[in-house]
Structure 1
């Protein structure tokens, strides 16, 4: 449940950063878009780490 809650927050952040990147580009602020894109990749990496943690360890322990 804790991992699921953390992933829900990550997914919210991923969506928001995607929108902010699009808006920054529309405003001609590619410099800002680049910074936001880096943060977006960090959020995606965190989400993937949480998935790996759940699938490789936590869910297996909970099932037993």
Structure 2
């Protein structure tokens, strides 16, 4: 049986996955139809454990070079 979810939940997940893929936040904002970037960043964009690790790995690589 599938867990209960809504279209709103899917929209949050979609946004988070776009961010994890590295897509430009302004492109995401436009795609979601948000007039204010703060809506995209503060409501729809979640930082997952995987994204946080990926970003800190990139930072570590930067410092090492």
TM-score using structure 2 length: 0.32
Higher relative contact order (CA 8 A, sep 6+): 1
Highest Rg: 1 or 2? Answer: 1
TM-score using structure 1 length: 0.32
